[in-house]
Amino acid sequence: MFGYLIAADGVLESEQLSRYRAVYCGLCRSLERCFGQGARLTLTYDMSFLVLLLSSLYEPEETAGAQRCPRHPLEKHPYNISEISDYAAHMNLALAYCKCKDDWKDERRLTALAEARTLERAYRETVRLYPRQCGAVEKALSELTALEESGREDPDAAADCCGALMEELFVLREDRWSDTLRHMAHALGRFLYLIDAAVDLEDDVRRGCYNPFRSFAGREDNAERFRDILKMQLGECLFWFDRLPLVQDAGLMQNILCVGLWYKFNQKYSKRDA
């Protein structure tokens, strides 16, 4: 379910693209500042959306700058950093650690075990600072693992696990917006799980991995079927998103939710529709 919350940069305005990259670089700097250089390897664009959302909602003071880094040693790259970037860095770290633990448990991959051990100390610090969020991640992944081990093809139950995970990550503090954030993030988490299952269906069946859509494998109308399911789920996410008082970066976030989220799905299924 990772790697879907990305912007469709081909249709972004230049200012939006610059802002998006600066937020991403700021998140990378926060990972290094909070946990050290090695934590930067866990960086994904997914948590950049969380930075955009919570920054637009709470309008924290941001520090802007430009700096070289190991990935870009030849030229300085602009960044924006704030307390929200640091929070998202902790959530990024928590997800990366729990995913490694899950991969080791499911596939016995030594690389996943090694990475989990590398991140363990940083994760313990994240648990200390954000026990509610880390507890939700661990609980959701445990319930999802149990469902997968049972072999029960229940897309709603599996998607709800990811919805429960996301809704706590998106709530930085309990306030007047926390309920709306939870509703939005729960729907988003469900969407992310379902779109990932749709995209990976054939590969999962071939490898003998769990997929709640397994009974649909090989059907010619899957693109239409899955697109209808996903549109309904995304509609609920957007319903709650529109109820948040977001001004800054609203267009950029709408690009991510309405266009970028579909990128991998369209890559997988559009060729069949042609």
Q: Domain residues for 263? A: 153-245+258-274
The sign of the dihedral angle between the CA atoms of 68, 69, 75, 81 is negative
Residue pointed to by tokens 């529709």: 273
Tell me the per-residue pLDDT of 86-96, one tens digit each, with 9 for 90 and over.
Answer: 999 999 999 99
**Alpha-carbon gap, residue 108 to 41, rounded angstroms:** 21
H or E stretch covering 40: none
Residues above pLDDT 90, as percent of the chain: 73
163 part of a folded domain:
yes
Tell me the per-residue pLDDT of 139-181, one tens digit each, with 9 for 90 and over.
Answer: 999 999 899 889 889 999 999 999 999 999 999 999 999 999 9
pLDDT for the residue numbered 70: 72
220 part of a folded domain:
yes
Q: Could you give the number of structural domains in the chain? A: 1
In the three-class reduction of DSSP (H, G, I as helix; E, B as strand; rest coil), residue 77 is classed as strand
**Alpha-carbon gap, residue 29 to 81, rounded angstroms:** 8
Residues (pLDDT < 70) of the chain are 1, 72, 104-110, 112, 271-274
pLDDT for the residue numbered 105: 65
178 part of a folded domain:
yes
